[in-house]
């Protein structure tokens, strides 16, 4: 495919996403009906689509769209790609030339867009929803602008060395011998940053053999901060795919139980655990109480995902205040339920991949205010502009004479 044909493909996919269709579904559907597209074409089209979604508001404004970009009354894929070209400093006529499968040449209205530079408000320029920007700013303070800017870029690729198998230097060497260049990441001792060769990773022996897992360095740092030690019984209350369960298993000799309200999310966990050389007990929803008490219960709670909007940028535009309120309610209920499963003198760990105060420290403070037996032992946050996903973790303890 020519560069222009790739942009046209992105335009068509974006048009579908703007009607409310999920991004991954549309990318997959396009790849299926475009058998002529090679792996480099697919990667380039994906980059164009994700790039436009991360910068939806500013690209819309630069392309002559805008307005309510969430329900998308006024923006088209064509406008987003036009805006992207302007932002990237690419000659518009080289792409919008109508040759072969390229986008059609600009019409008069679109041509006139090129003659103006839109005046953008701060949230628009930083590609944040208007309703969320004040809360984002209040949560991050002077770091808010840097964090919002970081959300406009592609996320780094991080690996977790499965310590059950390997040490860091040997993992770096093996990956290098398979064409994947990495460097240690400062956020966690198990973390590697992939510098080059990311497309070779999934077929590498290092990955298929369980030496390394794909996992953001902040997720690893969360696990590193937990008070885990040999012999503990640990519950991963919101286990999802089990990334945190596996990371905990690599830290100490634990008896780990995985639980999730949606058990199908854990369906690959037994195989992943075997690949990593460990065993994880998968519990049915609601069955955690029958195995209680636990020395540590981790709640990696459902959240806005604001810390991982680089990876899933449509989340930034789909989230509403009502959904955020519902998420906060669910988080509070999870904390309450999970706290009852913790042994006397045990630990309750609460984590989100969010940078919003209301989902993080405010949630913990509310729990502590309502549950006087508990104290906060430590909490920590990670922000996107520091080279990881945005994350938060708090570790609470309950002292007991039992
Ligand atoms: C952030 S994800 C977990 C990610 C996972 N820990 C990982 O590392 O891959 C949150 C999970 O919480 C689950 N969940 C939502 N409400 C829940 C509830 N009330 N009880 C238990 N799990 C819940 C969701 O199904 C989802 O899988």
381: β partners: 392
Whether the Cβ atoms of residue 101 and residue 5 lie closer than 8 Å to each other = yes
When pLDDT is cut at 50, 70 and 90, the band that residue 401 belongs to is low
**Which residue's entry shows tokens 């942009």?**
7
- What percentage of the chain carries pLDDT values higher than 70? 97
**Whole-angstrom Cα distance, residue 144 to residue 260?**
32
Q: What are phi and psi of 242, to 5 degrees?
A: 95, 15
Measured between alpha carbons, how far is 87 from 167 in angstroms, rounded to an integer?
43
Residue closest to 233 by CA, chosen among 170, 307, 296: 296
What is the 297 CA–ligand 1 centroid distance (Å)?
Answer: 13
Q: What atom in ligand 1 is closest to the CA of residue 237? A: 21
* Separation CA 392–CA 212 (nearest Å): 23
Cα–Cα distances (Å) from 56 to 60, 82, 87, 96, in that order, read 6, 12, 12, 20
- Reported confidence tier of residue 65, pLDDT bands at 50, 70, 90: confident
- Dist CA 62 CA 184 (whole Å): 39
Q: Which atom of ligand 1 is nearest to the CA of 236?
A: 6
pLDDT attached to residue 275: 86
Q: What pLDDT is recorded for position 163?
A: 75
- Which H/E stretch holds residue 281? strand 281-282
Which of 351, 354, 350 lies closest to 306, judged by CA? 354
Q: φ, ψ for residue 287 (rounded to 5)? A: -90, 0
Residue 206 has pLDDT above 80, yes or no: yes
Q: Note the pLDDT of residue 67.
A: 62
Percent of the chain with pLDDT over 90: 91
ipTM: 0.99
pLDDT at 165: 66
- Taking the alpha carbons of 45, 48, 49, 51 in that order, is the dihedral positive or negative? positive
Please check if 300 is assigned to a binding site.
yes
Average pLDDT over residues 342-370: 97
Q: Number of H helices and number of E strands within the chain? A: 19, 11
For residue 367, report the distance from its CA to the centre of ligand 1, in Å.
Answer: 19
Size of the chain in residues: 402
347-368 residues labelled b (16+ CB within 10 A) or e (exposed)? bbbbbbbbbbbbbbeebbeebb
Question: What is the per-residue pLDDT for 402?
Answer: 55
Kindly state the average pLDDT of the residues 337-364: 97
160 pLDDT higher than 80: yes
Mind listing the pLDDT tens digit for each residue in 235-245? 999 999 999 99
- Is the pLDDT at 209 greater than 90, yes or no? no
What φ, ψ does residue 253 adopt, rounded to 5°? -85, 95
**Has 353 been annotated as catalytic?**
yes
Pocket of ligand 1 (CB under 6 A): 237-241, 243-244, 260-262, 265, 300, 302, 330, 334
- What is the model's pLDDT at position 226? 98
38 vs 28: CA distance, rounded Å: 13
Inform me whether the pLDDT recorded for 285 exceeds 90: yes
Question: At a CB cut-off of 8 Å and minimum separation 6, what does 341 contact?
Answer: 235, 237, 288, 289, 292, 293, 294, 297
Pick the atom of ligand 1 nearest to 219's CA.
8
């Amino acid at each position: 495919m020519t560069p222009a044909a790739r942009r046209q493909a992105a335009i068509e996919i974006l048009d579908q996403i703007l009607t409310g269709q999920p991004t991954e579904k549309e990318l997959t559907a396009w790849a299926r009906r475009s058998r002529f597209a090679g792996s480099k074409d697919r990667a380039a089209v994906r980059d164009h689509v994700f790039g436009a979604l991360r910068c939806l508001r500013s690209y819309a404004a630069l392309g002559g769209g805008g307005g309510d970009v969430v329900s998308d009354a006024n923006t088209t894929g064509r406008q987003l790609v036009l805006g992207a070209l302007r932002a990237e400093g690419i000659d518009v006529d080289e792409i919008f030339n109508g040759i072969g499968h390229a986008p059609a040449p600009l019409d008069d209205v679109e041509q006139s867009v090129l003659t103006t530079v839109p005046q953008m408000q701060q949230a628009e320029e930083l590609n944040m929803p208007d309703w969320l920007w004040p809360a984002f700013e209040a949560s991050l303070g002077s770091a808010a602008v840097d964090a919002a800017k970081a959300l406009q870029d592609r996320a780094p690729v991080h690996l977790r060395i499965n310590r059950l198998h390997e040490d860091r230097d040997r993992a770096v060497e093996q990956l290098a011998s398979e064409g994947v260049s990495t460097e240690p990441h400062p956020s966690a001792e198990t973390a590697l940053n992939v510098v080059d060769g990311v497309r070779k990773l999934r077929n590498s022996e290092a990955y298929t053999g369980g030496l390394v897992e794909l996992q953001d360095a902040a997720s690893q740092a969360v696990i590193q901060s937990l008070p885990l030690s040999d012999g503990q019984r640990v519950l991963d209350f919101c286990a999802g795919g089990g990334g945190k369960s596996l990371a905990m298993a690599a830290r100490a000799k634990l008896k780990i139980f995985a639980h999730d309200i949606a058990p199908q999310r854990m369906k690959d966990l037994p195989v992943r655990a075997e690949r990593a050389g460990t065993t994880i007990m998968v519990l049915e929803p609601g069955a955690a109480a029958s195995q209680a008490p636990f020395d540590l219960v981790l709640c990696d709670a459902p959240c806005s995902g604001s810390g991982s909007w680089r990876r899933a940028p449509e989340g930034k535009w789909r989230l509403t205040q009502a959904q955020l309120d519902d998420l906060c309610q669910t988080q509070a209920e999870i904390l309450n339920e999970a706290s009852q499963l913790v042994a006397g003198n045990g630990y309750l760990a609460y984590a989100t991949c969010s940078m919003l105060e209301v989902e993080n420290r405010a949630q913990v403070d509310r729990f502590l205010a309502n549950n006087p037996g508990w104290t906060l032992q430590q909490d920590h946050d990670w922000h996107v502009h520091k080279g990881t996903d945005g994350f938060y973790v708090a570790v609470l303890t309950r002292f007991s004479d039992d």
